[in-house]
């Protein structure tokens, strides 16, 4: 009896341990779990089109945010009377998405400005009351269905124009004395009922504008249930809740918050294979159309897609159509280039999962069944060296041409192909194994940066010393609240000649007194001292050969935090 029982318990425990985090979260959260089959479809799709559009395209400023800022609210709110996109053609939009290799379209049915792109009965501020008089949401939803693309809706929770929503423009900064959130919530739910009943089934509901104080996790949960009760197969993003970690888009307190996936914005999400995620990013700089908005290169576009897939996430790539209803020709051309690449190499993107190697600036990996697709952006001399895997490579094939070679040892895998076969954007090598590679644990690359600090905010890796030297201004070294003195140091791999330094404090200037030092042998020597640093400190000095450098902060108003220290 006893051994069997132990076995049963051991089996149950191991089964429990194997349950994905999503299932655990669902079990704890009061909201029902996502429809697994639909979520799987969405993950496999990997690539979707985001469309930000509305009367504000007439001005070329940002949708929602420019209301009461660049464009006076009174003027903004009258623009719909001139909105007449006579060249709008839903079939063409869908064709463009399909040619790009995208599998779903997310349309801004309502942004923070409150304008409704469908025939809503709940407000007059909608597309039917423009000179255009056509329900573009209806037309797009129908065209999607006919052409085999999944139609999805973006919907802003905040509405800075609606008299009941308690906050107004600019950017939700002005409280409305007569706001009534309960009444607004009825309006919000009523509008979603219309969308789900008359335009569905929808693939995804993409909420946004949840961060303002009138929204609560209880309202989020109620809204999540409301939408799922109207369409059970609906996938809903994490912005329905209240736990998004800023633009990184991950979900804090995942157990208590509704929402099926994370939403990094204008940044590629970090490797995360325990919970689905989707980066949303613009093809130019603005979400809404802007004349001559600088556009991303094909290299940026494709590497972004590959980095998302390699991190086990989706990419929702945004276009802002022009006020006459057309998408810009140069944007169409770029999307077609992406589609042509995907037509050839989509096997290494669609229906894959990220890893096992976590993406770096130089490479990413995706996998399916018994194959890993290695995507190399930058070579390290003649080859790339990857951390070892507990599985034996049988074969390597360069999908982008040439003969791939590999050498496998217990601690590393070295892969190469002839220089002439390297692709400028992405050289793809498929590695075949005897068994499935889906259960191989994700492996990171050991950091090349040897940095240390006297104090790291809450001992969190995200704020480690390395973040001050990683060349990425979006990451920072941070110290605990109230810290007045702290140092951060960098060890060079070999003695290095330096003659200038740039230092960028993150957030507000806090440093009040510091010394900048270097080490040749055993002792730190001071190169210079100063009082304030701020966001843009620069200093040149007599060249020295250093083994290490150190910023020693002697006084600060609060815990110092540094985005970058760059040496030359
Ligand atoms: O629709 C597009 C943008 O108009 C919209 N989201 C994409 C999809 C957008 N909403 N907010 N922003 C863009 C930037 C806002 C950032 C902030 Fe915050 C709002 C900073 C502080 C409050 C949310 C909460 C992000 C960080 C904390």
Q: Does domain 450-567 fall into CATH 2.60.120.260?
A: yes
Give the nearest ligand 1 atom to 211 CA: 24
> Which residue minimizes the CA distance to atom 24 of ligand 1?
246
Q: What residues have CB less than 8 Å from 405, skipping those under 6 apart?
A: 396, 415, 416, 417
Give the per-residue pLDDT at 418: 95
| Cα–Cα distance, 234 to 182 (Å, whole number) | 25
The CA 566 to ligand 1 mean position distance, Å, reads 29
pLDDT tens readout for residues 553-562: 999 999 999 9
Mean pLDDT of 332-336: 98
pLDDT tens readout for residues 400-425: 999 999 999 999 999 999 999 999 99
3-state secondary structure of 203: coil
Measured CA angle at 408 (ends 406, 411), to 5 deg: 140
> Which residue minimizes the CA distance to atom 25 of ligand 1?
246
For residue 319, give the nearest of 280, 282, 264, 290 by alpha carbon. 282
For residue 107, give the nearest of 57, 45, 154 by alpha carbon. 154
The CA 210 to ligand 1 mean position distance, Å, reads 9
Higher per-residue confidence, 113 vs 5: 113
Query: DSSP of 453-466, one letter per residue?
Result: ES--GGG-GGGSGG
> Which residue minimizes the CA distance to atom 6 of ligand 1?
208
Q: Is residue 5 pLDDT above 60, yes or no?
A: no
End-to-end CA distance of the chain: 71
Mean pLDDT of 312-334: 98
Give the nearest ligand 1 atom to 318 CA: 8
The CA 225 to ligand 1 mean position distance, Å, reads 24
> Which residue minimizes the CA distance to atom 27 of ligand 1?
246
Q: Give me the phi and psi of 303, to 5 degrees please.
A: -65, -35
| Cα–Cα distance, 91 to 142 (Å, whole number) | 9
Pairing outcome for strands 427-433 and 412-416? unpaired
Give the nearest ligand 1 atom to 156 CA: 1
Verify cis geometry, omega within 30 degrees of 0, for the bond prior to 170. Answer: yes
Q: Is residue 494 pLDDT above 90, yes or no?
A: no
- Pick one of 2.40.37.10, 2.60.40.1180, 2.60.34.30, 3.40.50.970 as the CATH number of 354-433: 2.60.40.1180
Provide the token pair at 201.
Answer: 């089934």
Exposed, middle or buried by CB within 10 Å (0-12, 13-18, 19+), for 390?
A: exposed
Question: Percent of the chain at pLDDT above 90?
Answer: 88
> Which residue minimizes the CA distance to atom 10 of ligand 1?
209
Class level of CATH domain 36-346: alpha beta
| Residue 479 vs residues 248, 518, 550, 567: alpha-carbon distances, Å | 20, 22, 15, 22
Ligand 1, pocket-test mutation among 52, 213, 264, 265, most atoms within 8 A of CB: 265
Name the least confident of 44-48, 135-139, 311-315, 376-380. Answer: 376-380
Give yes or no for a contact between 559 and 483, defined as CB atoms under 8 angstroms apart: yes
3-state secondary structure of 206: strand
Q: Report the C-alpha dihedral over residues 466, 468, 473, 475, rounded to 10 degrees.
A: 50
Question: Percent of the chain at pLDDT above 70?
Answer: 95
pLDDT tens readout for residues 215-257: 999 999 999 999 999 999 999 999 999 999 999 999 998 888 9
Give the nearest ligand 1 atom to 280 CA: 8
Verify cis geometry, omega within 30 degrees of 0, for the bond prior to 20. Answer: no
Provide the token pair at 501.
Answer: 């330094």
Mean pLDDT of 91-101: 98
| Cα–Cα distance, 427 to 302 (Å, whole number) | 12
Provide the token pair at 83.
Answer: 């909105």
| CB-defined site of ligand 1, < 6 Å | 64, 208, 211, 246-247, 265, 280, 287
Q: Is residue 60 pLDDT above 90, yes or no?
A: yes
Residue boundaries of the structural domains of the chain:
36-346, 354-433, 450-567
C-alpha R_g of the chain: 26
Quote the mean pLDDT of the chain.
94
Ligand 1, pocket-test mutation among 204, 208, 263, most atoms within 8 A of CB: 208
Q: Is residue 352 pLDDT above 60, yes or no?
A: yes
Q: Is residue 324 pLDDT above 50, yes or no?
A: yes
Which helix (H) or strand (E) segment holds residue 337: the answer is helix 329-345
Give yes or no for a contact between 508 and 559, defined as CB atoms under 8 angstroms apart: no
Give the nearest ligand 1 atom to 208 CA: 6
pLDDT band for position 361 (50/70/90)? Answer: confident
Give the nearest ligand 1 atom to 65 CA: 4
3-state secondary structure of 522: coil
Provide the token pair at 178.
Answer: 């007569």
Give yes or no for a contact between 271 and 311, defined as CB atoms under 8 angstroms apart: yes
Q: Is residue 34 pLDDT above 60, yes or no?
A: yes
| Stated pTM of the model | 0.83
Give yes or no for a contact between 447 and 514, defined as CB atoms under 8 angstroms apart: no
Ligand 1, pocket-test mutation among 167, 246, 251, most atoms within 8 A of CB: 246
| Cα–Cα distance, 192 to 343 (Å, whole number) | 36
Give the per-residue pLDDT at 22: 46
Give the per-residue pLDDT at 255: 82
Mean pLDDT of 346-368: 97
| Cα–Cα distance, 518 to 293 (Å, whole number) | 44
| Cα–Cα distance, 292 to 320 (Å, whole number) | 12
| Cα–Cα distance, 51 to 383 (Å, whole number) | 40
Would you say the CATH fold of 354-433 matches that of 36-346? no
Give the per-residue pLDDT at 29: 54
Give the per-residue pLDDT at 88: 98
> Which residue minimizes the CA distance to atom 22 of ligand 1?
211
């Amino acid at each position: 009896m006893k051994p069997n029982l132990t076995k049963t318990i051991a089996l149950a425990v191991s089964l429990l341990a194997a349950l994905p985090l999503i299932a655990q979260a669902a079990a704890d959260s009061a909201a029902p779990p996502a429809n697994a089959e639909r979520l799987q479809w969405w993950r496999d799709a990997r690539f979707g089109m985001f469309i930000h559009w509305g009367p504000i395209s007439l001005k070329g400023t940002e949708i929602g945010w420019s209301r009461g800022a660049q464009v006076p609210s009174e003027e903004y709110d009258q623009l719909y009377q001139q909105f007449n996109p006579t060249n709008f053609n839903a079939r063409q939009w869908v064709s463009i998405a399909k040619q790009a290799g995208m599998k779903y379209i997310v349309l801004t049915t309502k942004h923070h400005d409150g304008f409704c792109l469908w025939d809503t009965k709940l407000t007059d501020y909608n597309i039917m009351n423009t000179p255009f008089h056509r329900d573009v949401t209806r037309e797009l939803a129908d065209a999607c269905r006919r052409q085999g693309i999944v139609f999805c809706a973006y919907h802003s929770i905040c509405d800075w124009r609606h008299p009941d929503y308690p906050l107004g423009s600019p950017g939700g900064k002005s409280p409305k004395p007569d706001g009534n959130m309960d009444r607004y919530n009825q309006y919000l739910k009523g509008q979603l009922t219309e969308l789900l009943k008359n335009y569905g089934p929808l693939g995804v509901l993409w909420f946004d504008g949840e961060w303002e104080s009138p929204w609560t996790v209880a309202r989020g949960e109620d809204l999540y249930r409301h939408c799922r009760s109207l369409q059970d197969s609906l996938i809903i993003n994490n912005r329905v809740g209240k736990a998004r970690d800023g633009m990184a888009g991950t979900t804090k307190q995942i157990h208590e918050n509704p929402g099926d996936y994370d939403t990094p914005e204008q940044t590629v999400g970090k490797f995360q294979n325990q919970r689905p995620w989707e980066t949303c990013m613009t093809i130019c700089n603005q979400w809404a159309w802007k004349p001559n908005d600088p556009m991303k290169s094909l290299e940026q576009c494709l590497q972004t897609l590959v980095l998302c897939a390699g991190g086990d996430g989706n990419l929702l790539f945004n276009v802002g159509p022009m006020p006459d209803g057309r998408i810009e020709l140069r944007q169409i051309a770029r999307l077609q280039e992406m589609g042509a690449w995907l037509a050839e190499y989509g096997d290494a993107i669609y229906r894959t999962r990220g890893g096992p190697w976590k993406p770096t600036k130089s490479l990413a990996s995706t996998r399916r069944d018994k194959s890993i697709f290695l995507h190399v952006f930058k070579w390290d001399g003649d080859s790339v060296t990857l951390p070892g895997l507990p599985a034996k490579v049988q074969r390597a094939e360069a999908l982008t041409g040439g003969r791939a070679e590999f050498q496998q040892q217990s601690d590393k895998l070295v892969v190469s192909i002839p220089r002439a076969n390297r692709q400028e954007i992405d050289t793809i090598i498929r590695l075949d194994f005897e068994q499935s590679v889906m259960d191989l644990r994700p492996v990171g690359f050991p950091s090349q940066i040897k940095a240390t600090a006297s104090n790291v905010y809450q001992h969190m890796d995200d704020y480690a010393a390395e973040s001050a030297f990683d060349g990425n201004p979006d990451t920072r070294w941070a110290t605990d609240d109230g810290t007045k003195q702290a140092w951060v140091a960098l060890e060079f791999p070999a003695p290095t000649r330096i003659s200038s330094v740039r230092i960028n404090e993150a957030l507000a200037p806090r440093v009040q007194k510091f010394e900048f030092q270097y080490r040749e042998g055993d002792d730190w020597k001071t190169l210079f001292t100063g009082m304030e640093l701020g966001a843009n400190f620069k200093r040149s000095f007599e060249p020295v050969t250093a083994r290490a450098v150190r910023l020693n902060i002697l006084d600060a108003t609060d815990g110092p935090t540094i985005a970058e220290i760059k040496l030359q």
